[in-house]
Amino acid sequence: MKYYSLNHKSPKVSFKSAVVNGLAPDRGLYFPESITPIASDFIKNIANYSNEEIAYEAIKQFVGDEIPTEVLKNIIDETLTFDFPIVNVEENIGALELFHGPTMAFKDVGARFMARCLAYFNKNNEDKVTVLVATSGDTGGAVASGFLGVKGVEVVILYPSGKVSDIQEKQLTTLGQNIKALEVDGVFDDCQEMVKTAFLDTEISKTLTSANSINIARWLPQMFYFFFAYKQLHKKHKDIVFSVPSGNFGNICAGIMAQKLGLPVKHFVASTNINDTVPNFLATEKYDPKPSKATISNAMDVGNPSNFIRIQELFGNNTEKLKQAFASYSFTDEATKKAMKEIYKTSGYVTDPHGAVGYLGLKKYNLADTDFGVFLETAHPVKFLDIVEETLPVTVEIPEQIKSVIDKVKVATKVSNYTELKAFLNS
CATH, residue 248: 3.40.50.1100
pLDDT-derived band at 398 (thresholds 50, 70, 90) equals: confident
Give the model's pLDDT for residue 125.
74
Mean pLDDT of 250-278: 97
Give the model's pLDDT for residue 68.
97
Residues 359, 330: Cα–Cα separation, whole Å: 12
Residues 353, 361: Cα–Cα separation, whole Å: 13
Same domain, 234 and 276: yes
pLDDT tens profile 323-348: 999 999 999 999 999 999 999 999 99
Same domain, 379 and 407: no
Higher pLDDT, 7 or 202: 7
Same domain, 237 and 364: yes
Same domain, 141 and 271: no
Size of the chain in residues: 427
Closest CA to 104 of 355, 335, 343: 355
- Residue 35, in any domain of the structure: no
375 backbone dihedrals φ, ψ, rounded to 5°: -105, 140
Q: Are 165 and 405 in contact (CB under 8 A)?
A: no
Give the model's pLDDT for residue 164.
85
Residues 213, 299: Cα–Cα separation, whole Å: 13
- Residue 56, in any domain of the structure: no
Same domain, 191 and 254: no
Give the model's pLDDT for residue 161.
92
Percent of the chain topping pLDDT 70: 100
For every residue of the chain, which 3-state class applies, written as one string?
Answer: CEEEECCCCCCCEEHHHHHHHCCCCCCCCEEECCCCCCCHHHHHCHHHCCHHHHHHHHHHHHHCCCCCHHHHHHHHHHHCCCCCCEEEEECCEEEEECCCCCCCECHHHHHHHHHHHHHHHCCCCCCCEEEEEECCCHHHHHHHHHHCCCCCEEEEEEEECCCCCHHHHHHHHCCCCCEEEEEECCCHHHHHHHHHHHHCCCCCCCEEEECCCCCHHHHHHHHHHHHHHHHHHHHHCCEEEEEEECCCCHHHHHHHHHHHCCCCCCEEEEEECCCCHHHHHHHHCCCCCCCCCCCCCHHHCCCCCCCHHHHHHHCCCCHHHHHHHEEEEECCHHHHHHHHHHHHHHHCCCCCHHHHHHHHHHHHHCCCCCEEEEEEECECHHHHHHHHHHHCCCCCCCCHHHHHHHCCCCCCEEECCHHHHHHHHHC
Same domain, 279 and 152: no
Closest CA to 6 of 240, 267, 309: 309
**Which candidate in 2, 60, 73, 107 is catalytic?**
107
Residues 245, 192: Cα–Cα separation, whole Å: 19
Q: Is the pLDDT confidence value at 268 over 70? A: yes
Same domain, 361 and 226: yes
Residues 413, 351: Cα–Cα separation, whole Å: 33
Q: What is the mean pLDDT of the chain?
A: 93
Same domain, 317 and 357: yes
Same domain, 232 and 367: yes
Buried b (16+ CB within 10 A) or exposed e, 98-110: bbbbbbbbbbbbb
Residues 295, 402: Cα–Cα separation, whole Å: 23
- Residue 346, in any domain of the structure: yes
Mean pLDDT of 22-43: 94
Give the model's pLDDT for residue 308.
96
Same domain, 187 and 236: no
Residues 143, 214: Cα–Cα separation, whole Å: 14
Strands 2-5 and 13-14: antiparallel
- Residue 55, in any domain of the structure: no
Mean pLDDT of 387-407: 89
Distance (Å) of CA 140 to CA 137, 188, 214, 233, 264 = 6, 12, 14, 31, 32
Q: Are 384 and 350 in contact (CB under 8 A)?
A: no
Please report, as a single letter, which amino acid is at residue 407: D
125 backbone dihedrals φ, ψ, rounded to 5°: -105, 125
Residues 368, 387: Cα–Cα separation, whole Å: 32
pLDDT tens profile 287-308: 999 988 989 998 899 999 999 9
Higher pLDDT, 91 or 212: 91
Distance (Å) of CA 312 to CA 253, 275, 315, 319 = 9, 19, 5, 7
Mean pLDDT of 267-274: 98
Parent domain of 151: 128-206+397-426
- Residue 58, in any domain of the structure: no
Q: Is the pLDDT confidence value at 199 over 80? A: yes
Q: How many domains does the chain have?
A: 2
Same domain, 304 and 365: yes
- Residue 3, in any domain of the structure: no
The contacts of residue 22 (CB under 8 Å, 6+ apart) are 199, 208, 209, 210, 211, 214, 215
pLDDT tens profile 68-105: 999 999 999 999 999 999 999 999 999 999 999 988 89
pLDDT-derived band at 392 (thresholds 50, 70, 90) equals: very high
pLDDT tens profile 167-191: 888 888 988 889 999 999 998 889 9
- Residue 25, in any domain of the structure: no
Catalytic status, residue 107 = yes
Residues 141, 102: Cα–Cα separation, whole Å: 9
pLDDT tens profile 138-161: 777 888 888 888 888 889 999 999
Of the ranges 10-19, 142-151, 201-210, 413-422, which one carries the lowest mean pLDDT score? 201-210
CA 188 to chain centre: 15
pLDDT-derived band at 205 (thresholds 50, 70, 90) equals: low
pTM to 2 decimals? 0.91
- Residue 267, in any domain of the structure: yes
Mean pLDDT of 228-247: 96
Higher pLDDT, 131 or 280: 280
Same domain, 196 and 229: no
